């Protein structure tokens, strides 16, 4: 589709690979170019599964938009179509090559941006396709389930594993107490699914919509993030004092954890043992909250709304169970899946009034909110670690040196008279660089935050998909990040350890952060994983 005419040359040039030269005259919109592009589009469509009305990308598909722009209402080149199996084995990602247009964006993202290379182009000519090693399932190769391939696919060839049906079934079951929790990044993304400006904070309307869908309680995962900070900061301080394995790295991102398990199993001791916020929160809901409200934990069904498809895998991990072996979280749906549920319920999202999260589990801090952006976990942890070690309130809460979308950020923070070296990483290709340094003994930091998705959860694989044109012209990261930081700035409480519900839970139920009960309920273990399980 990127064909152009260059004066003095025969045929067409492809603008995506043609280098500009001095004196070159390029025509991009001639009659010949338009007809050539239309022919290419026709050929693409001739080998495409054209079930648009039932496709998850209907209305947000770049191929569909091109067909409309070029006025293609029928396919001229009808003939043999390639047929491929649908890979839906993994708990996170469904791969349907019958809808693939061979643009290779997913390949480029996986290999160059994420440094994984789980998928690549195979075969030649009409048999060309994008697949995995030995055409195995994504579940059985070195895929981390980050979902960035989904975010960059222009059609419906890649999508998240849909879990909305089980949620609908539980919402209709009168014997089930259905609780939903929403991650910080969801509230600054979901409005985009309803035509609102990128980065709009739709928290109040999101809560209202969830209540209308029939959830018995609507809680904020930010509260779970506050618990994570208490445990993580405590673990970090203990490692410093007791000479534990350093540097310590965060464990909130399941794609990052899976990446380490597959690629650097000898470095697993560097990972914090803390569960991620939504897993911690699920464990607390089914233990302390259930006990206090006299609800049978086995009757509670916890749904997490996440900006991430790797969370679907995470909830199935061993050691993600709490009370009586019950799963901490029972279902994970993405921001996109929640939007589909709202539309299926015929709720006019943009017309809703604001509502608040349910008490007391809705109480959260600004520190919990910034978990949604790269550097946020580090900043939130530093707020608590500094005050704990120094025994006095911070004069300045913002650690702006760890903010921004830059792939690797390093800083030195003075804590109780000691220089603590920290690093913030987003994107797995950058994570590989840092882990190679750690493996070779070149690492020069004490605390490391890693998020698999470039920019963090606000650009996660489960967030609203933006077209290539939008991503080229709009700084989606900045708009969503500004909204997240705005929530923090407006929060009454901005430090995790000052969350009143958190204090109450530790006092009445958990005991000390990092204690025996806390470890049983809020911490986990890791395993070495083969890159190829078959």
Q: Is the pLDDT of residue 270 over 90?
A: yes
Q: Give the integer Cα–Cα distance in Å for 377 and 373.
A: 8
pLDDT above 90 as % of the chain: 89
**Mean confidence (pLDDT) of the chain:** 95
**Is the pLDDT assigned to residue 420 strictly greater than 80?**
yes
User: What is the CATH number that goes with domain 3-69?
Assistant: 3.10.20.740
Taking only the tens place, the pLDDT of each residue in 430-489 is 999 999 999 999 988 999 999 999 999 999 999 999 999 999 999 999 999 999 999 999
| Cα–Cα dist 226/499, whole Å | 7
Q: Name which residue leads in pLDDT, 331 or 17.
A: 331
What is the predicted pLDDT for the residue at 533?
A: 62
Q: What is the pLDDT of residues 492-516, one digit of tens each?
A: 999 999 999 999 999 999 999 999 9
d(CA 47, CA 70): 18
Domains 3-69 and 86-160 share a fold: no
Which class in CATH covers the domain with range 164-262+270-372+472-522?
Answer: alpha beta
Architecture of domain 86-160: 2-Layer Sandwich (3.30)
Angle between helices 335-344 and 203-213 (to 10 degrees): 60
Among 215, 160, 176, 472, residue whose Cα is nearest residue 297: 176
Which residue ranges make up each domain of the chain?
A: 3-69, 86-160, 164-262+270-372+472-522
pLDDT over threshold 60, residue 388: yes
pLDDT tens profile 125-178: 888 999 999 999 999 999 999 999 999 999 999 999 999 999 999 999 999 999
pLDDT digits (tens, 9 = 90+) for 197-240: 999 999 999 999 999 999 999 999 999 999 999 999 999 999 99
| 287-338 per-position pLDDT tens digit | 999 999 999 999 999 999 999 999 999 999 999 998 789 999 999 999 999 9
Query: Percent of the chain having pLDDT more than 70?
Result: 99
Q: Which of 335, 328, 264, 274 is nearest to 302 (CA)?
A: 328
How far is it, in rounded angstroms, from Cα 97 to Cα 85? 8
Say if CB 284 and CB 227 are below 8 A apart: yes
């Amino acid at each position: 589709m990127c064909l152009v005419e260059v004066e003095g040359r025969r045929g067409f040039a492809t603008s995506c690979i043609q280098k500009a030269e001095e004196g070159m005259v390029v025509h991009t919109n001639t009659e010949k170019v338009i007809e050539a592009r239309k022919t290419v589009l026709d050929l693409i469509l001739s080998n495409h599964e054209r079930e648009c009305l039932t496709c998850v990308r209907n209305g947000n598909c770049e191929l569909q938009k091109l067909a409309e722009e070029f006025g293609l209402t029928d396919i001229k080149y009808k003939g043999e179509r390639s047929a491929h199996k649908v890979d839906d084995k993994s708990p996170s990602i469904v791969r349907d090559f019958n809808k693939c247009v061979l643009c290779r964006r997913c390949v480029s993202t996986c290999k160059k941006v994420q440094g994984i290379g789980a998928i690549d182009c195979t075969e030649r000519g009409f048999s060309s396709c994008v697949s995995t090693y030995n055409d195995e399932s994504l579940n059985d190769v070195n895929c981390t389930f980050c979902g960035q391939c989904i975010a960059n696919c222009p059609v419906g060839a890649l999508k998240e594993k849909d879990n909305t049906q089980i949620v609908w079934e539980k919402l209709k079951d009168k014997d089930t107490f259905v609780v939903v929790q929403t991650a910080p990044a969801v509230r600054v993304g979901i409005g985009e699914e309803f035509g609102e400006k990128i980065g709009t904070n739709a928290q109040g309307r999101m809560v209202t919509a969830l209540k209308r869908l029939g959830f018995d309680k609507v809680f904020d995962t930010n509260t779970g993030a506050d618990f994570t900070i208490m445990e993580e900061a405590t673990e970090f301080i203990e490692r410093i004092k007791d000479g534990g394995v350093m540097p310590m790295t965060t464990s909130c991102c399941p794609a990052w954890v899976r990446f380490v398990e597959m690629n650097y199993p000898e470095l697993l001791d560097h990972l914090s043992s803390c569960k991620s916020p939504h897993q911690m929160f699920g464990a607390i809901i089914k233990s302390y909250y259930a006990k206090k409200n006299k609800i049978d934990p086995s009757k509670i069904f916890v749904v997490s709304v996440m900006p991430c498809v790797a969370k679907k895998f995470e909830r199935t991990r061993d050691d993600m169970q709490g009370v009586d072996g019950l799963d901490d979280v029972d279902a994970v749906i993405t921001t996109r899946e929640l939007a589909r549920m709202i539309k299926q319920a015929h709720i006019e999202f943009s017309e809703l009034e604001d509502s608040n999260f349910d008490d007391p589990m809705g109480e959260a801090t600004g520190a919990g909110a910034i978990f949604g952006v790269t550097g946020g976990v580090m900043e939130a942890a530093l707020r608590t670690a500094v005050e704990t070690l120094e025994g006095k309130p911070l004069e300045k809460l913002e650690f702006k040196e760890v903010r921004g979308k830059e792939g690797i950020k390093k800083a030195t923070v003075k804590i109780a008279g000691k220089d603590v070296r920290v690093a913030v990483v987003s994107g797995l290709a950058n994570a590989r660089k840092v882990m190679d340094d750690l493996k070779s003994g070149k690492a020069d930091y004490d605390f490391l935050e890693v998020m698999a998705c470039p920019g963090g959860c606000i650009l996660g694989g489960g967030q609203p998909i933006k077209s290539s044109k939008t991503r080229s012209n709009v700084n989606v990261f900045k708009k969503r990040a500004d909204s997240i930081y705005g929530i923090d700035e407006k929060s009454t409480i901005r430090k995790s350890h000052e969350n009143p519900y958190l204090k109450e839970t530790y006092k009445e139920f958990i005991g000390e952060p990092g204690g025996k009960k806390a470890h049983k309920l809020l911490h986990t273990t890791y395993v070495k994983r083969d890159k190829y399980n078959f």
